[in-house]
Amino acid sequence: MSSSSCKKCATSTSIGKKQIMGVTGLLLCGFLISHLLGNLTLLVGPDAFNKYSHTLTSNPLIYGAEFILAAIFLSHIVMAIRLIIENRAARPVKYHMYKKSGRGGTLASSTMPFTGLIALVFLVFHICGLKFGTVYSTNVGGVEMRDLYRTTIEYFQDPLHVLGYIVAMVALGFHTSHGFWSAFQSLGLNHPKYMPKIQCLSKLFGLVVAIGFSGLAIFCFIKGGH
Amino acid sequence: MGGNSTDTMSLNLKVWRQKNAKDKGQMVDYKLDGVSPDMSFLEMMDTLNTKLVKEKGDTIAFDHDCREGICGMCSMMINGQAHGPEAETTTCQLHMRKFKSGDTIVVEPWRAKAFPVIKDLMVDRTALDDIMVAGGYVNVNTGNPQDANSILIGQENAELAMDAAACIGCGACVASCKNASAMLFVSAKISQLALLPQGEIESAARAQAMVAKMDELGFGNCTNEAECEAQCPKGIKIENIARMNREWFKGVIGNR
Amino acid sequence: MTTQIKKLDGKVPAGPIQDRWKTHKFNMKIVNAANKRKYSVIVVGTGLAGASAAASLAELGYNVSTFCIQDSPRRAHSIAAQGGINAAKNYPNDGDSIYRLFYDTVKGGDYRARESNVYRLAEVANNIIDQCVAQGVPFAREYGGTLSNRSFGGAQVSRTFYARGQTGQQLLLGAYSAMMKEINNGKIKSYTRREMVELVIVEGKARGIIVRNLITGEFEKYMADAVLIATGGYGNVFYLSTNAKASNASAAFRAYKKGAYFANPCFTQIHPTCIPVSGDHQSKLTLMSESLRNDGRVWVPKKKGDTRKPQDIPEEERDYYLERIYPSFGNLVPRDVASRNAKNQCDAGFGVSQTGKAVYLDFAAAIKRDGHDKIKAKYGNLFDMYQRITDADPYKTPMMIYPAIHYTMGGLWVDYNLMSNIPGLFVLGEANFSDHGANRLGASALMQGLADGYFVIPYTLGNYFATEKFEKIDTNHPEFEKAFSSSKERFNKLLAVNGTKTVDEFHKELGLVMWDNVGMGRNAEGLQTAIKRIQEIRADFWKNVKVTGTNVDVNTELEKAGRVADFLELGELMAKDALIRKESCGGHFREESQTEEGEAKRDDENFCHVAAWEYQGESAEPLRHIEELQFEFVKLTQRSYK
């Protein structure tokens, strides 16, 4: 195999795809953490949250950032779909009986496509309900800005929204608890000494995502008068 | 012997029967009495085959050879697990004392696009050889190499290389992987040779070539579930897959 | 019968033993590099000998086709060798030398091997280690990064290189990977799941083979300028052996029936440390590496029929019989000696286990001395295997072991160039008879297989090509057609019998006769009985065997039937050979010929020779030719390990 053709098709090889999944996954994990940290301003109060979101959205670089984020999401999703299709094709005749040994795969690892899908569906609702939700305006320190705090609190007055949010975030927690360490494995960033720690961190990460975001949803629900 | 027992067992077996590659195949039920707990799983299958010959039926074809867990020839999916329920045990080393009388045991061939069924429980694993052909070696000819001791290898790396080299090429990793991926098999060889100075030189190129071949043959992709590691009869670790991923990436960025 | 005996010439070069191989290599003709690609070679069997030969010959430029019965060349039974490979590197500084390895091997073989062959083997052994290391074989290492050695039976130095308990596997995978490299280079074509069923001889030269495609059931013809047989030994004649289930003698035996001489068929090796038989269902026996005898102590209770648990038998009531009888070698006596003593103890009623056919191999002392972890590091995988099979934990209770058939020193007769009496038919590894005499030392089989393949055949085959002229023929030649149709007929005949007994039943029956009469102890009466019994079983086989299935697609019963049919003839030949060799030597123990202490007593006056049998047709007695053995360097003495 010539080296030039190798380079060209690197992204379409099994490992190439996995490594793209890994890199985009890690970047998305970074996004999740920053998103969560930003959302914590909800706890501080309406002004803090609105100021934070205003700073973010009024920066002209936001379009570039959103574009990149969308691209990362998209490539993560496209790669996932390709992998799923290929993986299904790799075993055209299924087993009559197939059983996990209990020593390998976990619930998180074997449900990646489903938890991923839940997260994707959630994303659509999330953007429609909040980013493109009702627009109120407010004035913080003399600056006219969108009152996203109010939109958020109102959104979470519907218990169904809170429930959906919790379900999605638990799914995402599962997804990342496997995905986080899995990215290190796919990228070959492993070491017998550190890998168990990374795996631990991965579980912790999933827990933070699930509890953090769900917690905020519940907070909004309570804050709104319930 | 330690576990000698006079009690025999009766088993209900569900076995995949398929005349040849073109046949559609189906699960067939058999009842087998008089199974000694000291029998290996293959000896139990022998007993069933003897019964079939006596009844003038066609015997069940299955691969086996050394029957001491090293040749990698035996290859049964037993109750949904590659080589059965015991950890780090090949089918030939699995003994019937691990089952109970009255159990129903489901026996199927390895299933993967790259492992077409030849007959019954026998599959074609030529794909694994094809991957080896692509680069599973050090490019050195027979001749007069330097004295063996002039290549020093630290004990730790030698042991890690040996851990990886212990792969018997049975294909249980492919069979047990929900994606029918051959990553563990391929990585074991890449890892072994990458850990040794003799093989390190070609390591990145080897990873590139072997992975390309593996993809071409229709194996699935790795989703880091480690079911392969759990069901590998030789306990090959998925850290080898990580090492392969690294070597492969070196090849991508290092290529001109 | 004796009137027609031929004196065979081993074509051994003359001169000082140290220079013979060097001189011979120089004197041999060479095929020039460009012409090598005009020659084709068939290699049957892809174990250590076959794979290493195929790779080395392909590297030189010859066009090689390999054939194996398994689904991949990597499955050959060389893979199961556990302990190690010998070489006189003298790394441990314990006084080893090529000459000592040579001496030990000749002595270990009880002076029934060709000196020159053995010296060559000892000489190239060092290259083998270098070659394997270069291929990336992960031998065990010391902390400083140098290679590690251990001791083996029959030697007082540590010269055995090893890769845990999987040395054979690692060496085979080394040779296999070299083969894969040459497949990639287009110089080897590998044919798997194919069984050689006939040798094709055209105008006196071996020119091809007929194989049966084990998937389609079809017969196929392959032509070449030379045929190499490297199909291993025939231990499965005994049904229960440590050989793989599919290991068989058919390729070699087909060659015998086409005129190749079969040498010393009665020389079989019984390995002292195998897991005892557990019941009638037993399909094969499992070996526990000889390396265990480095730390394990062999004993039986001093009291006959002692049924106490081994832990409950106090030290003074145990008989460490090997240490007692052989104080200088102790538990590390050669295999034949260790096996025979185990049999003696059991025959005398001291055996343990329910069957009384086992002795203890005890690690308690070693575990106490070195600690559990160190023993686990050395033998962990073997202990696990033992536990898996027997359900007993060798860390806590002694292993039970008993001898089992393990290796066959006899095989097709070859000269110094590894060529049989049929020009163009070369025989390598265990399939030939050449290097181990009447008993093989531990860790020498791997050495011989690789020596033949990597370092001998590349030279001697070139010499054959350079000195012979080859007619252009193709597979439509009448000889090919003849062999093709006769093979087909033979298999159809097996299917047509349509009797009532399974192939395995016949095989087991043969195995019992062999074990009882042609096993560890042999005598004239037993051997005569065996010959008669085997003839009866054979007649019954062709009348009563039931082979299910058809000649198309996979038919494993038919495969087995073909092999057992050959074993049923080979077994008789072994018994005949054993009957005529009235001396005891190495693994061949004639009860009539023993010293006062019960050791094997050779008869150098009458039997210092190789017996090579020539097939004379179905109803005629085979001829027994002789190759006299000259011992110019090692003095013939009564072997002693006391």
Strand partners, C636: none
> Which residue in A has a C-alpha nearest to residue B83's C-alpha?
A101
Look at residues C543, C531, C611, C610 and name the one whose alpha carbon lies nearest to residue C571.
C531
Please give the structure tokens belonging to residue C356.
């009384």
The C-alpha of C577 sits at a distance from chain B's nearest C-alpha, in angstroms, of 29
- B151 and C140 within 8 Å at the Cβ level: the answer is no
B110 and B188 in a common domain: no
Query: CB atoms < 10 A from the CB of C54, how many?
Result: 34
Is position B2 within any domain?
Answer: no
C250-277 average pLDDT score: 96
Look at residues C350, C389, A205 and name the one whose alpha carbon lies nearest to residue B69.
C389
State the catalytic residue, choosing from C194, C207, C254, C335: C335
Is position C582 within any domain?
Answer: yes
The ipTM is: 0.96
C-alpha count within 13 angstroms, C-beta hemisphere, residue C525: 2
CATH code at position B73: 3.10.20.30
Look at residues B43, B85, B49 and name the one whose alpha carbon lies nearest to residue B67.
B43
DSSP C518-579: SSSSB-HHHHHHHHHHHHHHHHHHHHHEE--S-SSS--HHHHHHHHHHHHHHHHHHHHHHHH
Q: Distances in Å between the alpha carbon of C309 and those of B67, C354, C372, C397?
A: 29, 12, 21, 9
Q: Which residues of B touch A186 (CB under 8 A)?
A: 222, 224, 242, 245
- Among B5, B90, B137, B152, the strongest candidate for a mutation testing the C interface, having the largest count of C CBs within 10 A, is B137
> What is the rounded CA–CA span in Å between residue C20 and residue C367?
47
> What is the rounded CA–CA span in Å between residue A45 and residue A51?
10
CATH of region A16-88+109-223: 1.20.1300.10
Is residue A92 within 8 angstroms of chain B, CB to CB? yes
pLDDT value of residue A190: 85
Strand partners, A115: none
Q: Is the pLDDT of residue C621 over 70?
A: yes
- B125 and C139 within 8 Å at the Cβ level: the answer is no
Q: Which of C373, C406, C439 is the last residue in one of the domains? A: C406
Phi, psi of A212 (to 5 degrees): -55, -55
B137 and B109 in a common domain: no
Report residue A72 CA to chain centroid gap. 11
C71-95 average pLDDT score: 95
State percent of chain B over pLDDT 90: 94
C381 and C278 in a common domain: yes
CA C605, C609, C611, C612 torsion-angle sign: negative
Kind and range of the H or E run holding C407: strand C399-408
Give the residue numbers spanning the domain of C525: 485-606
pLDDT value of residue B3: 43
pLDDT value of residue B6: 61
- A186 and B224 within 8 Å at the Cβ level: the answer is yes
> Which residue in C has a C-alpha nearest to residue B60's C-alpha?
C556
Query: CB atoms < 10 A from the CB of C636, how many?
Result: 14
C286 and C397 in a common domain: yes
Exposed / middle / buried, residue A195 (Cβ in 10 Å: 0-12, 13-18, 19+): middle
- What mean pLDDT value characterizes chain C? 95
What are the residues whose beta carbons fall under 8 Å from the beta carbon of C633, sequence distance 6 or more?
A: C17, C115, C119
- C286 and B68 within 8 Å at the Cβ level: the answer is yes
Q: Is the pLDDT of residue B4 over 70?
A: no
Q: Distances in Å between the alpha carbon of C246 and those of A20, A46, C68, C237?
A: 46, 79, 11, 11
Q: Which residues of B touch C52 (CB under 8 A)?
A: 142
> Which residue in A has a C-alpha nearest to residue B104's C-alpha?
A97
B242 and B134 in a common domain: yes
pLDDT value of residue C5: 83
B61 and B151 in a common domain: no
Pairing mode, strands B122-123 and B117-119:
antiparallel
* C362-421 residue pLDDT tens: 999 999 999 999 999 888 888 988 999 999 999 999 999 999 999 999 999 999 999 999
What are the residues whose beta carbons fall under 8 Å from the beta carbon of C156, sequence distance 6 or more?
A: C329
Query: CB atoms < 10 A from the CB of A225, how many?
Result: 7
The residues in A 13-42 lying below 8 A from B, measured between CB atoms, are 13-19
- A18 and B215 within 8 Å at the Cβ level: the answer is no
State the total domains in chain C: 2
- A91 and B228 within 8 Å at the Cβ level: the answer is no
Using the structure block, give the residue that is written with the tokens 């690692």. C170
pLDDT value of residue B256: 63
C273-294 average pLDDT score: 90
pLDDT value of residue C259: 97
C160-172 average pLDDT score: 94
B130 and B114 in a common domain: no
Query: C560 with C503: CB under 8 angstroms?
Result: yes
Confidence of residue C242 (pLDDT cuts 50, 70, 90): very high
Confidence of residue C188 (pLDDT cuts 50, 70, 90): very high
Q: How is chain A split into domains, by residue range? A: 16-88+109-223
> What is the rounded CA–CA span in Å between residue A124 and residue C156?
78
Q: Which residues of B touch A15 (CB under 8 A)?
A: 211, 244-245, 248-249
Using the structure block, give the residue that is written with the tokens 């759990």. B230
Report residue B144 CA to chain centroid gap. 34
Does B touch C (3+ CB pairs < 8 Å)? Answer: yes
Global pTM reads: 0.95
Rg (CA), chain C: 24
The residues in B 201-220 lying below 8 A from C, measured between CB atoms, are none
- Among C52, C66, C184, C289, the strongest candidate for a mutation testing the B interface, having the largest count of B CBs within 10 A, is C184
Is position B146 within any domain?
Answer: yes
Is position B211 within any domain?
Answer: yes
> What is the rounded CA–CA span in Å between residue B173 and residue B110?
10
Does A touch C (3+ CB pairs < 8 Å)? Answer: no
The C-alpha of B41 sits at a distance from chain C's nearest C-alpha, in angstroms, of 11
- C147 and B95 within 8 Å at the Cβ level: the answer is no
CA B155, B161, B167, B173 torsion-angle sign: positive
Is residue C73 within 8 angstroms of chain B, CB to CB? yes
* C473-513 residue pLDDT tens: 999 999 999 999 999 999 999 999 999 999 999 999 999 99
pLDDT value of residue A120: 95
The shortest CB-CB distance from A99 to any of B79, B220, B222 is to B79
Confidence of residue C597 (pLDDT cuts 50, 70, 90): confident
Look at residues C449, C455, C416 and name the one whose alpha carbon lies nearest to residue C431.
C449
Is position C299 within any domain?
Answer: yes
B111 and B140 in a common domain: no
Q: Return the ∠ at Cα C239 (arms to C237 and C245), rounded to 5°.
A: 100
B97 and B143 in a common domain: no
Q: Distances in Å between the alpha carbon of B247 and those of B192, B204, B215, C75?
A: 12, 5, 16, 28
Is residue C354 within 8 angstroms of chain B, CB to CB? yes
B209 and B146 in a common domain: yes
Among this protein's residues, is C335 annotated catalytic? yes
C28-51 average pLDDT score: 97
The C-alpha of B207 sits at a distance from chain A's nearest C-alpha, in angstroms, of 10
- A101 and B113 within 8 Å at the Cβ level: the answer is no
Residue-wise burial string across B80-101, b where 16 or more C-beta atoms lie within 10 A, e elsewhere: bbbbbbbebbbbbbbbbebbee
The residues in B 81-100 lying below 8 A from A, measured between CB atoms, are 81, 85, 87
- At residue A86, the 3 state secondary structure works out as helix
The shortest CB-CB distance from A94 to any of B111, B248, B252 is to B111
Is position B1 within any domain?
Answer: no
- C77 and B169 within 8 Å at the Cβ level: the answer is no
State the total domains in chain B: 2
> What is the rounded CA–CA span in Å between residue C145 and residue C148?
9
pLDDT tens digits for chain A (226 residues)? 334 444 447 788 999 999 999 999 999 999 999 999 999 999 999 999 999 999 999 999 999 999 999 999 999 999 999 999 999 999 999 999 999 998 888 899 999 999 999 999 999 999 998 889 889 999 998 999 999 999 999 999 999 999 999 999 999 999 999 999 999 999 999 888 899 999 999 999 999 999 999 999 999 999 887 6
Give the residue numbers spanning the domain of B207: 125-254
What are the residues whose beta carbons fall under 8 Å from the beta carbon of C85, sequence distance 6 or more?
A: C125, C128, C129, C132, C160, C161, C162, C167, C171, C443, C446, C447, C450
B239 and B139 in a common domain: yes
Is position B4 within any domain?
Answer: no
CATH code at position C541: 1.20.58.100
Q: Is the pLDDT of residue C56 over 60?
A: yes
- C138 and B138 within 8 Å at the Cβ level: the answer is no
B109 and B167 in a common domain: no
C400 and C495 in a common domain: no
Query: B147 with C128: CB under 8 angstroms?
Result: no
B189 and B82 in a common domain: no
Q: How many helices (H) and strands (E) would you count in chain A?
A: 10, 2
The residues in B 115-174 lying below 8 A from A, measured between CB atoms, are none
CATH code at position C301: 3.90.700.10
